[in-house]
Amino acid sequence: MGNAAVTVRNLWAKYVGSGDWVLRGVNLEVREGEMLFLMGPSGCGKSTLLKVLAGLLPWVIPGTVEGEVLVAGVDVLRYGYKGLAGKVGVVYQNPEVQVVTRSVFEELAMAPENLGLPKEEVRARVESVAKALGLEDYLFKDPQSLSGGEKQLVAIASVLAMRPRVLLLDEPTSMLDHLGTRLVLDLITQLKREYGLTIVAAEHRVEWAVEVADRVAVMSDGAVVLEGSPSEVFSRVEEVQKYGVRPPGVSEVAYNLVRMGFPIRIPVRLSEMEEVLGGG
């Protein structure tokens, strides 16, 4: 992992009409190829932070933003979302708002076309992203005929066709059932492992976080209050709970054991629990 893909220094932000600051002095750095999870209760500021990183606040959504934000080398507060075109992709909670065309092919072609790429290049990108994500059979289907999970795959694929350096995910599975969630999580895990994309995700699925995240930042009241590897963050069960984040099930079990007087280290992953159980 090399240079910083995202740098945030002393970031303050508020919406027109929100009165108080929603982000209150956020500092954060994400290195190239790293996957960072933003976690915290509703209203903690994680979605707002993503909106600033995407150059939407205050460029599309009116508000006030102060501080320093560099994403993929672009000074976002100076150049906004236009400066990020082709460099940063965003996937939202609800695929319904993101999937707009009448065929999956058109959907995947839209971003590269908007970047003004020649027709052959657009086609090549659509085909390569469809192949990479196993969506070849979907290309001429109507996105509206797909399940929620499949639509979200298309939304992600359409963003990837842009070949962004940084992918921003705003709770991409919160509207999906177990099948859809599994499809999307498997895909994102694959993107990280095989393509080394830098990913910043607002996400509440802690058991996925402990398996794939390099780093976790817990936010509360507009600031980052806990930060570190999943093990560093989630082994602090009481603190994590205090900030309104669900601890991993195994950590909660281990925490109960510690309170019963067992001198064990608190694991965060299922596989690490074997050590505590001691075989058999």
Using CB under 8 A as the criterion, which residues of the chain lie in contact with another protein when the complex forms?
41-43, 147-148, 174-182, 204, 207, 244-246, 248-250, 252-257, 260, 262, 269-270, 273, 276-278, 280
Q: How far is the CB of 78 from another protein (least distance, A)?
A: 33
Contact 238, 244 (CB under 8 A): no
Q: How far is the CB of 107 from another protein (least distance, A)?
A: 21
Q: In terms of CB distance, is 161 or 176 closer to another protein?
A: 176
Q: How far is the CB of 221 from another protein (least distance, A)?
A: 14
Q: In terms of CB distance, is 97 or 260 closer to another protein?
A: 260
Q: In terms of CB distance, is 2 or 277 closer to another protein?
A: 277
Listed as own residue / partner, the contacts of 170-174 with beta carbons closer than 8 Å and 24 or more positions apart are 170/47, 170/50, 170/90, 170/91, 170/92, 170/93, 170/201, 170/202, 171/47, 171/93, 171/202, 171/203, 171/204, 172/91, 172/92, 172/93, 172/201, 172/203, 173/203, 173/205, 174/93, 174/204
| Residue 36 structure tokens | 């960072």
Q: In terms of CB distance, is 14 or 125 closer to another protein?
A: 14
Q: How far is the CB of 270 from another protein (least distance, A)?
A: 5
